[in-house]
Amino acid sequence: HGTSKINAKAHLEIGGCDTVELKETYGTPLYIMDEALVRQRCREYMESFRASGLTFQVAFASKAFCVMAMCRLAEQEGLSLDVVSEGELYTALQAGFPAQRIHFHGNNKTPYELEMAISAGIGCFVVDNFTELHMLQALAAEKGVAVNILLRVTPGVEAHTHEYISTGQTDSKFGFDIANGSALEAVELASGSLNLNLLGLHSHIGSQIFEVEGFQLAIERVAEFAGQVKENLGVVFKVVNLGGGFGIRYTAEDTPLKVSDYVKSITDAVKQYFVGIYAQLPEIWVEPGRSIVGDAGTTLYTVGTSKEIPGVRKYVAVDGGMTDNPRPALYESKYEAMLANRGNDVAEETVSIAGKCCESGDMLIWDIDLPKVNSGDLLAVACTGAYNYAMASNYNRIPRPAVVFVNEGSSDLVVKRESLQDIVAGDVIPERISKQPL
């Protein structure tokens, strides 16, 4: 998919770059991002919303892949940006992302983070709970400013997805519950504040969702609540943010819709459910992360050792693993892979791909059919653009891989490979310990 193909040398080529050459230049493991595909996904969102006739913002959920080059790219494509921590906010600001288009999320923003965001002049805070509501009100009052907010609500919708990543249900750490009256109380508080400019509501029901029914139900509940608010408090919302969660295809088991179909189902539902409630339809904001960057990413590994247990299984180990992709260990996520240096060879054996970390759970793929795999072969794992680099760790003191953008035959480093010096950069040996002779 995207710009990937097998070239005349039978090598996997992405963005016009031969992956065997990329290995020579940058080493492995290596995250490769197909820039044209990321831009295409951004444009699909922007164009589908334009076609709806509604006023909108598409905010890239930077948690999926937050690096300065990506912030710049999202900016160029006209997207806004969702950040959830001082680190993501700092990355965006350092990249020159316009503060007005930054939305700040999170269920436990610290006073420091709120201050940093107020000073930067960000476009909107997505307020998650009463503690934050009071804290933000007090900080904004102290600074003599009014800040834009959305209130995150839980509409009581449980998305059909892995339980760790569904967040729309009542028993969730996120948001004000509509069903138990918390959301109404929050609207009352926020709309009465001079320092909080209540723009509207936010709802996010989960991630890697294929069915549109969950989104439609959430919109119905939010619209119903908006009607209640209008009737009881006379407050009309300008904005409704429906979060992210649009699924992508990792393997043949996954059946996502096209971006344009997701967007159409959402904008149609907004029209359907708000038309009787509001004279003017609200602005619609969304926050896709995975569906913008997920399938544009490929991780390139070098094969090292293998171990055959006759009649049971063959393990093939690569030079990365759960440190660069913790998703199989965390969510039992499935991936597809191929030999990047022998793209035309046919499958001959079933193997399981192991990482190099010191624990049995460090497996990338169970039971995949590949050509006979040799030490030194290059393995390309597809669809690793979202929540891979973003969730990478230094477990076993393994340096994080480099990230390159490839496009029309050029490759550019966007994150340097961590060095061994980086690994010990923060370490301190207290004098009490270091003064004892070795």
Stretch that binds ligand LLP, among 12-20, 225-233, 285-293, 336-344 (CB under 6 A): 285-293
**Pattern 158-187, ligand LLP, x by CB under 6 A:** -------x----------------------
Residues 67-106, interacting with ligand LLP (CB under 6 A): 82, 105
Question: Is residue 121 part of an annotated ligand binding site?
Answer: no
Q: Provide, rounded to whole angstroms, the least separation between the CB of residue 257 and ligand LLP.
A: 13
Contact 291, 372 (CB under 8 A): no
| Contact indicator for 174, 107 with CB cutoff of 8 Å | yes
Contact status: 204 vs ligand LLP (CB under 6 A): yes
Amino acid identity of 177?
D
**Active-site residue, from 17, 71, 124, 358:** 358
Q: Per-residue string for binding with ligand LLP, 294-323, x by CB under 6 A?
A: ------------------------------
Query: Binding site annotation covers 343?
Result: no
CB of 92 to ligand LLP, least distance (A): 15
Question: HSE of 14 in the Cβ direction (CA atoms, 13 Å)?
Answer: 33
- Residues 6 or more apart whose Cβ sits within 8 Å of residue 53: none
CA 434 to the chain's CA centroid: 42
Using CB under 6 A, which residues numbered 245 to 284 contact ligand LLP? 245-246
- At 336, list the tokens: 């597809």
Asked if residue 288 binds ligand LLP (CB under 6 A), the reply is yes
Q: Is 29 annotated as a binding residue?
A: no
* 424 CB burial (10 A radius; 0-12, 13-18, 19+): exposed
Q: How far apart are CA 241 and CA 213, in angstroms?
A: 17
64 lines the binding site for ligand LLP (CB under 6 A): yes
Is 289 annotated in a binding site? The answer is yes
Residue (193 or 208) nearer to ligand LLP, CB: 208
Distance CA 142, CA 155 (A): 33
Whether the CA torsion 89, 93, 95, 98 is positive or negative: it is positive
Number of residues that bind ligand LLP (CB under 6 A): 22
Residue choice 15, 168, 243, 256 for contact with ligand LLP (CB under 6 A): 243
Would you count residue 26 as binding ligand LLP (CB under 6 A)? no
Q: Which stretch binds ligand LLP (CB under 6 A): 143-151, 176-184, 204-212, 343-351?
A: 204-212
Tell me the closest approach of the beta carbon of residue 248 to ligand LLP, in angstroms.
9
Q: Has 26 been labeled as part of a binding site?
A: no
The secondary structure element, H or E, covering residue 19 is helix 19-26
Between residues 203 and 302, which has the closer beta carbon with respect to ligand LLP? 203
Query: Was 287 annotated as part of a binding site?
Result: yes
Token readout for 11 is 């090598």
What is the helix, strand, coil percentage profile of the chain, to 5? 35, 25, 40
Q: Which is nearer to ligand LLP, 137 or 241 (CB)?
A: 241
Instruction: Give the per-residue contact string, 375-394, with ligand LLP (x = CB under 6 A; - = no).
Output: -----------xx-------
Residue number, 23 or 327, with CB nearest to ligand LLP: 327
If one counts every other C-beta atom within 10 angstroms of the C-beta of residue 25, the result is 12
CA dihedral 242, 215, 74, 148 (to 10 degrees): 0
User: What's the CA gap between 208 and 291, in Å, rounded?
Assistant: 9
Concatenated DSSP letters of 61-110: EGGGS--HHHHHHHHHTT-EEEE-SHHHHHHHHHTT--GGGEEE--SS--
Query: Among residues 113 and 287, whose Cβ is nearest to ligand LLP?
Result: 287
Instruction: Give the Cα separation of 402 and 417 in Å (integer).
Output: 4
Q: Is 358 a catalytic residue?
A: yes
Q: Report the residue from 282, 289, 328, 343 that binds ligand LLP according to the rule CB under 6 A.
A: 289
212 binds ligand LLP (CB under 6 A): no
Was 331 annotated as part of a binding site?
Answer: yes
Give me the least distance between CB of 243 and ligand LLP, in Å please.
4
- What gap in Å lies between CA 412 and CA 284, rounded to an integer? 35
Binding site for ligand LLP (CB under 6 A): 61, 63-64, 82, 105, 165, 204, 207-208, 243-246, 287-291, 327, 331, 386-387
Binding residues, by number, are: 245, 287-290, 327, 331, 359, 387
Binding residues for substrate, by number, are: 290, 327, 331, 359, 387
- Residues labelled as active-site residues: 358
